[in-house]
Amino acid sequence: MSLIISVLSGIPIRVYNIRAGRGKPGLMDQHLKGVELVGKICNAKIKGAQLGSTEIIFFPGRIKGGYYDAQIKTAGSISLLLQVSIPCLLFADGESKLKLQGGTNAEMAPQIEYVTEVFRPIMEKFGATFDFQLNKRGYFPRGGGEVEVSIKPVSKLRPVQMLEQGQVTRLYGWSFVAGAVPLGIAHGMADAAESDLKRYGINVNVERYKESPDMAEGNCSGILIVAETNTGNIFGGSALGKRDEKPQVTGSKAAMEIIKTVSEGACVDDHGQDQIIILMALADGVSRIKVGSLTMHTKTAIYIAEKLTKAKFKTTINDSCTIIECYAHQPQLSWENTKYNINKEPQWSGNYLYQNMQHRSHSRQSCWNERITYSSEIQDNRHDMEIDDAPSSSSSYMEPSSKRMKKSDDMQHTVIETLKIFQQHILKNQEEVDEDERFGKTVAKLLTEFPSGYKPTIKTTVIKYLSDQLQQYYSVRT
């Protein structure tokens, strides 16, 4: 989610402690392919994008529509690639097509049917959608699945109100097996799910089938159930079969997810909670959605959205459900103003830069002056620097008494020219600078390139400012 916001806002970010609490910390293949895919979409420059890396630094560029592909060599989830790429491509400059390879039905990730049958209808409420084609299924451990997705851009997302669950009017699903798994397993899962749901007064018809060898890579079994209500809500329940688990247990797991959502009065199931947060944060207006108990993924998503966007969230617990409210405005995309775009030279404003230097403010108007970093673990989230709104050109300011500087054309010209040098140096060397290296060498280089003929006090003050910026830019601990 942090990469999505980085791409859409044009704000470079540093993500650290990636999967720090896991048995195998750092980027796995599916996470790495997600980072690389988003990097291609916006022509980003990335530092630390490698297997096992616990930290990346991401410099986004402009989102371009077009054709993109990604291949996970294992059964890593294709659904996770879709989660990170689709929101970005919704705001591209043209239509896009994705060709993704990997796992279609994997543990610890939404099954591909959930993405198309549950999440896509929810996205359509926000005013966006995508076309989907399943070419082949891929299962643990080899993957090998393939999907193609087409996305048309939108001008904005609209807010939604999903507060009334209503009555379940339709309940359907699929129970499948593939490879060497016998069809009887599919019947066992479906029978158990139907029995559990009928016990709660909900009738369901689950289709049972075996995937053809041409459509499936490997052995697998699973079940997905979808519920629709008379208020237009849709939610799901799913489970994958395991060797040491009876099919009846697997089927009951999927049914209990539906029963849990219905009993809580929620409009979105637990799997969709965290996925809607980014849509709410990007929508233009106030959204309100009723969910069950907040998951840790949802709490983390809200935390990140509030830190990296201007969206404000409020959660209200009411019995067994939670109301999530989001107050957001359509974000300004990174290419709508060249001052946001790290890959283009900003249209500098002398008066603005002069005030910005005086205040030492970390302006949203200068993309290279914004460096937001945070921990990927919610318990250790923190910013290396704070971001304040930039002062307007008409705002008043006090000149520091210790450095009285005459506001003149010469001064503005000096600042502008020096900041241009500073920006060019960063763009040229941002991939080469060692994070542990002191910023002194860079400042020394700027000193030699500083325009001649200006007062030493002006030169010293500007270099001090650049020094401060470099220290914050590289997150150097002094």
In this predicted model, what pLDDT tens digit does every residue of 401-432 receive, in sequence order? 333 334 344 444 555 555 555 555 555 554 44
Over 80: is that where the pLDDT of 318 sits? yes
CATH 3.65.10.20 location in the chain: 2-162+269-328
Q: Which CATH class is domain 168-264?
A: alpha beta
Nearest to 226 by CA among 183, 255, 198: 255
Q: Where does 134-201 have alpha helices with state H?
A: 183-199
Contact residues for 358 (Cβ-Cβ < 8 A; gap 6+): 397, 399, 400
pLDDT 10s digits, 443-463: 555 555 555 544 455 555 655
User: Between residues 352 and 133, which one has the greater pLDDT?
Assistant: 133
Q: Can you give the pLDDT at residue 152? A: 96
Over 90: is that where the pLDDT of 226 sits? yes
Over 60: is that where the pLDDT of 30 sits? yes
Contact residues for 116 (Cβ-Cβ < 8 A; gap 6+): 132
- Please state, in angstroms and rounded to a whole number, the distance separating the CA atoms of residues 147 and 433: 39
Contact 100, 78 (CB under 8 A): yes
Over 70: is that where the pLDDT of 138 sits? yes
Q: Which CATH class is domain 2-162+269-328?
A: alpha beta
- Please state, in angstroms and rounded to a whole number, the distance separating the CA atoms of residues 465 and 415: 10
Residue 53: C-alpha distances to residues 49, 132, 297 (Å): 7, 32, 21
* Mean of pLDDT values over 275-280: 97
Structure tokens at 465: 């400012």
pLDDT 10s digits, 208-225: 999 999 999 789 999 999
3-state SS, 223-257, equals EEEEEEECCCCEEEEEEECCCCCCHHHHHHHHHHH
Over 60: is that where the pLDDT of 266 sits? yes
Q: Can you give the pLDDT at residue 363? A: 32
- Please state, in angstroms and rounded to a whole number, the distance separating the CA atoms of residues 196 and 467: 66
Q: Can you give the pLDDT at residue 21? A: 82
CATH 3.30.360.20 location in the chain: 168-264
Q: Can you give the pLDDT at residue 373? A: 35
Residues recognised as catalytic: 297
Q: Can you give the pLDDT at residue 202? A: 80
Contact 147, 134 (CB under 8 A): yes
Mean pLDDT of the chain: 78
Residue 460: C-alpha distances to residues 299, 361, 450, 456 (Å): 46, 18, 10, 6
pLDDT 10s digits, 193-204: 999 999 878 888
Q: Can you give the pLDDT at residue 108? A: 86
Residues present in the chain in total: 478
DSSP-assigned states of every residue in 264-323:
HT-SS-HHHHHHHHHHHHHBSEEEEEEESSPPHHHHHHHHHHHHHSS-EEEEEEETTEEE
- Please state, in angstroms and rounded to a whole number, the distance separating the CA atoms of residues 91 and 155: 7
